[in-house]
Structure 1
Amino acid sequence: MTVNPRTVTPGLMVGNIMQVEGLNLGERVVIAGASFLRNDMKVTLLKTGEQAK
């Protein structure tokens, strides 16, 4: 999996689900360490509760 920047606009939030404009279905959002990423850099998804190395 690789990363690329996107401009997103947060929308309504219901429970723990937020409506977001600017993403395609199935795309994910980096929530930690984004400042270390570069265009087309390969990344690995962490499992829930797993710590980055």
Structure 2
Amino acid sequence: MEPPSPGELYHVVCRECPFERLIGLAGDADAYGRDHAADTGHRVAVDRIE
């Protein structure tokens, strides 16, 4: 996997509550999403922002 470019961000957003983050590393974004989903049972989306 290539390292993120300087301007690359990942948007983590919950579809059921106000939880939302912008994160610079794909692995960290996935972890935040998984942790929130595990803690709450909510559906979370993670998308790369170009």
User: What is the TM-score of this pair, normalised by structure 1?
Assistant: 0.23
Q: Which has the larger radius of gyration?
A: 1
Structure having the larger proportion of residues in strand: 2
